[in-house]
Amino acid sequence: MENSTTLVLINLLIIIIASLWSSKKTGIADVLFYLIGGLLAVNIHVLSPHSSIIETFAFIGTIFLFFYLGLEENLKSFVKGVKSGWKIAIAGIILPFAAIYLVTYLLTHDVIKSLVFGMAFAPTSIGIAFLTLNTLTFSAKSRLQPIIVAAALTDDVLSLILWGVLGGILVSLQQSASLQISLDSIGALMVHPVSNFLFFSIVMGLIAYLFFLFNPTASLKKESPILLWLNKTKSTIYHHAGAVNFLGRQEINTAIVIMIFLAFIGSYIAEFFETSVALGAYFMGLIINKDHFSHKGESNDELFHDAIEKLRFLTLYFFAPIFFISIGLHMEIASVSLLLSVLSKAVLLAAVLFGGQFLAASFTAHYINGLSWRSSSLIGIAMQGRAEVTFLVAMSAFSMKLIDSGDLLLISVSAFILNLSVPFLLKMAAHYHEKHDQAETI
């Protein structure tokens, strides 16, 4: 029987408080202790990974985390980050996927299972990287963080689309008991997820343009009846119902409630088009900026920053921690023998994935993006986390009966090992980067 809501929340808050205390005492990113707290809680039977209460709060935590990520960025830096990071993202999908597929196939000789493992470990966790970077201070952070976030997000979007296609194909293969499938069938399976993502992008783009983008784009200066009509329509809508009307003219608490409402609207639009709710929340946060907190032409930076600070507290000290605790809760270990049998494979998979991801991200950042080796290495480490989309793919594959509970535990343990490595190694990389940056300025 599930524990009462009050008791579950008390236990979650105990883990959060203990994690924050441990983080302060050790100087290690608190995300590590949230994961460990979840691991301990499930194995001493204090909390359950199947708790509907925790699932609900973890779901809300995903929306808050990605919305706050978007608020921390701005559209201009995001576009710049995508231009710099998309090559890192693509390389970061191809090499880790190939490496994990090969190792899993050598261990299992199962094509379908190997494809699932490869797809589960292809996407990078934005949350792990962001929460760790949030605890660090170094001069190159403002330059590298947009690249890391944009690369991780691009990698997640591509992985979600690919899984939407691949999941359907693998179910078809499993049901037909044959590895033969026509190009027409693959094309038909691709239409649905790709078209859904395109429709989602169009709807979010229209919302951003009509209600949030303060100035018309340069392309609308062209003398064209359609473009002139669109420009006039945009100006009229923005004047009467633009973001400044429902954000800039509010007192701070009302503005925060409206921002949270917008985060859920973005998530619902993504959910409607069968895309990740995290993407909807992120893009909604991305298009909100300080210009929307102006009134009668006067910018109100204080209102914007106060609203961001309150959302930061809710996100980083309550909702996001519950999301990461819920990841640790998937590490339920039935017996020591099972743990030992899974652990050896998990260490192997984590080591292979770490090497593949590091080589893909750091070499691409250095040789294609032209970054220094220390910046490239830091990016290679920051891209190691595996959480949000990894567990989405793994749970989806489990529900489709493409993998069993043992495989799900193996994926969870492997991801856990990688997530434990990120706070330690990223802190070391940031310290090394700052040390050499300071030496060069002397």
Q: What is the pLDDT of residues 276-293, one digit of tens each?
A: 788 888 889 888 877 777
Q: Could you tell me the fold of the domain covering 5-441?
A: Na+/H+ antiporter like fold (1.20.1530)
- Alpha helices of 329-404 — where are they, by DSSP H? 336-367, 373-382, 388-399
pLDDT tier for residue 100 given thresholds of 50, 70 and 90: very high
The average pLDDT across 140-150 equals: 83
Integer Cα distance of 50 and 329 in angstroms:
9
pLDDT digits 0-9 by tens, 33-91: 888 899 899 889 899 888 889 989 988 988 998 898 888 777 776 777 677 777 888 88
Q: Which residues pair with 208 in a beta bridge?
A: none
Neighbours of 439 (CB within 10 A): 8
Structure tokens at 99: 């490496």
Decide: 33 and 23 in contact? Cβ < 8 Å: yes
| Helix-, strand-, coil-residue percentages of the chain, each rounded to 5 | 80, 0, 20
Distance CA 126, CA 105 (A): 28
Report residue 261 as tokens.
């409402």
- Unique residue bearing structure tokens 């400044």: 244
Contact 362, 372 (CB under 8 A): no
pLDDT bucket at 224, cuts 50 / 70 / 90? low
Give the integer Cα–Cα distance in Å for 210 and 204.
10
Q: What are the tokens at 108?
A: 């299992």
CA angle 250, 252, 258 (to 5 degrees): 65
Contact 218, 231 (CB under 8 A): no
Q: Is the pLDDT of residue 168 over 80?
A: no
DSSP secondary structure letters along 167-213: HHHHHHHHHHT-S---HHHHHHHHHHHHHHHHHHHHHHHHHIIIII-
If one compares 352 and 221, the residue with the highest pLDDT of the two is 352
The Cα 160–Cα 61 span in angstroms is: 19
Rounded to the nearest 10 degrees, how much is the dihedral formed by the CA atoms of 261, 201, 65, 302?
A: -60
Does the pTM of the predicted model rise above 0.75? Answer: yes
Q: Identify the band that residue 190 occupies on the pLDDT scale cut at 50, 70 and 90.
A: low
